[in-house]
Amino acid sequence: MTGGIFLGVDGGGTKTEFVCIDGSGTVIARAVTGTTYHLQVGIDEAVRRLAQGITAVCDAQKITPAAFDHAFFGLPAYGEDSVVDPQLDAACARLLGHDRYACGNDMVCGWAGSLGCEDGINIVAGTGSIGYGEREGQSARAGGWGEVFGDEGSAYWIAVQGLALFSRMSDGRAPKDVLYERIAEALSLRNDLELCERIMGTERMSRGEIAGLAGVVSRAASEGDAGAAAILKSAAMELAAIACALRKRLGFPIGEPVPISWSGGVLSQEPLVRRPFLEALKEEAFNFVEPRFAPGHGAALYARKLALRLAGSDIELRRMSPDG
């Protein structure tokens, strides 16, 4: 497909990226808004931000949404709530004014970008974490159960583990180390118990703000804090476990090299997580693939893939028609 305009939307836990590509895959417009994680900002605000991003990429090209040949909305937590999903789907239809689109979980964007829509597994470790893979037309996910009892290995999870370690250091259950000082500095705590107010009080920090504290844990680890280093290694092991679970669920034969890539800031930018993650998978016959495209670009590539699939279905239907 050499012509056309395809919109991809990657709704992350911190920001949402809108990317338009032409039929050759070249990016022709891009925009960024805040997170569209409806559990954090509400459905109305998530839809408002979707509208804002669509308007921005349309204005950049002097087109209307009717010009999109196909669109893919990769939205946080999509597919996990039978009440909310139809509302988000209907909102996307209203914003575009046509039915040439699909909604899915944002995990698809990471896979489509990192592996270029080819078979294999991608591990997302950003504000949250999840794994997604495809093999011979089959797909599977693992992890991504949310910040309350899941999202292991994510920035939010790392931050929460760091805050828990701070609390133990504060009351003597663990020896005070670099992390204790770094968290107190980062949050400008007047006393240790003020942490409860900052995290759970009326002016509590947002999910994204808490996830940002993962950088504090990382800096403490790089400064020699053994407890912080152990948190990062544990994050790597959790992410590796997601990859191994997906390998089994997708039915890759034992010994067959499985392409695996990654997206999100934790694995892309934190060597103290990425190195042990890759090391843990060396014995599992994975073929490491550096991410080819960012998730937003991946969402647009997936929109193009869906359009090609639909076009192929139409051709096949015409062949089967008595008048074809």
Q: How far apart are CA 272 and CA 236, in angstroms?
A: 8
Strands (E), the chain: 5-11, 15-22, 27-34, 70-75, 101-105, 120-125, 129-135, 138-143, 258-263, 286-288
Confidence bin at 28 (pLDDT 50/70/90) = very high
Q: 123 with 131: CB under 8 angstroms?
A: yes
Instruction: Give tens-digit pLDDT for 99-143.
Output: 999 999 999 999 999 999 999 999 999 999 999 999 998 999 999
Asked whether residue 163 is assigned to any structural domain, the reply reads yes
Instruction: Give tens-digit pLDDT for 54-80.
Output: 999 999 999 999 999 999 999 998 999
- 279 plus 160 within the same structural domain: yes
CATH number, domain of 305, equals 3.30.420.40
Instruction: Give tens-digit pLDDT for 212-221.
Output: 999 999 999 9
Give this prediction's pTM: 0.86
Asked whether residue 146 is assigned to any structural domain, the reply reads no
Residue bearing tokens 């891009």: 30
- Phi (first) and psi of residue 191, to 5 degrees: -155, 165
Asked whether residue 102 is assigned to any structural domain, the reply reads yes
pLDDT > 90 in the chain, percent: 83
Confidence bin at 312 (pLDDT 50/70/90) = low
Distances (CA, A) of 308 to 6, 8, 70, 73, 312: 11, 15, 10, 17, 6
Q: 263 with 124: CB under 8 angstroms?
A: yes
- 250 plus 283 within the same structural domain: yes
> What is residue 129's DSSP assignment?
E
- Phi (first) and psi of residue 104, to 5 degrees: -160, 180
- 278 plus 159 within the same structural domain: yes
Query: Within 13 Å and on the Cβ side, how many CA atoms surround 60?
Result: 16
pLDDT at 90 over 70: yes
Q: How far apart are CA 265 and CA 125, in angstroms?
A: 7
Q: How far apart are CA 106 and CA 161, in angstroms?
A: 25
| Tokens at 115, concatenated | 């592996």
Confidence bin at 147 (pLDDT 50/70/90) = confident
pLDDT at 314: 45
Q: How far apart are CA 124 and CA 127, in angstroms?
A: 9
| Tokens at 120, concatenated | 């294999």
Range of the domain at 16: 5-116+292-320
Asked whether residue 305 is assigned to any structural domain, the reply reads yes
Domains contained in the chain, number: 2
Asked whether residue 257 is assigned to any structural domain, the reply reads yes
Confidence bin at 2 (pLDDT 50/70/90) = low
| Tokens at 12, concatenated | 């992350």
Cβ-proximal residues to 5 (8 Å cutoff; 6+ apart), any chain? 20, 21, 22, 28, 61, 63, 67, 68, 69
**Going by DSSP bridges, is the β-strand pair 70-75/101-105 parallel, antiparallel, or unpaired?**
parallel
R_g of the chain computed on alpha carbons: 21
